[in-house]
Amino acid sequence: MKAEFKLFVVIGTFFTVVGVIYGTVTHWNEPVGPFGLLLCAGLSALIGFYLWETGRKLDPRPEDDPSAPISAAEGEYGFFSPHSWWPLPLAASAAVVFLGLAVGWWLFIIGMCFATLAVIGWTYEYFRGEHAV
C-alpha cells in the first residue's frame, strides 16, 4: 500500500499548496475556491491515512517490493474472451446513449434498448452457440 499512500500524500499536498496560493491571490475574498481545494486536500488525506493504516496491518504485497519477481504477483486474473464481438455493439450503444443525453430522450431510450441487448448478449455468449460451455 506504499505506492497508493504516497500518491494520496502528493495529491493532498498539491491541493493544500494550490488552495493556500489561490486564497492568497484572491485575498480570501472568494471563499468557495480555497475551501473546495482545501476540502479536496482533506479528503485525500483521509484516503491516504486509511491506506497507511491498512498497509501497516497487512503483509507487504509484491507491488511494494521493488526487487520482487514478476511471478510473485502471479495468479488467476479472470477469464477474458479472445473472440467476443459484444464489446463493439455495447460501445456503439453507449455512444448512442450519451448522444441521446445531448439530443433528446427518444435517442437515449433507443440507445438503452440496444445497450440492454448488448449486455445480455455479452453475458450469455458462453451459454449458447459454438462456444457454449
User: pLDDT value at position 15?
Assistant: 97
Q: CA 97, CA 90: separation in Å to the nearest integer?
A: 10
Q: Which one-letter DSSP state was computed for residue 133?
A: -
pLDDT at 81 over 80: no
- Evaluate if residue 126 carries a pLDDT over 70: yes
List, for residues 16-67, the tens digit of each pLDDT value.
999 999 999 999 999 899 999 999 999 999 999 999 999 888 887 777 778 8
Higher pLDDT, 111 or 55: 111
For every residue of 114-130, which 3-state class applies, written as one string? Answer: HHHHHHHHHHCCCCCCC
**pTM here?**
0.53
pLDDT value of residue 50 = 94
CA-CA distance, 55 to 43, in Å (whole number)?
18
**pLDDT tens digits, 83-107:** 889 999 999 999 999 999 999 999 9
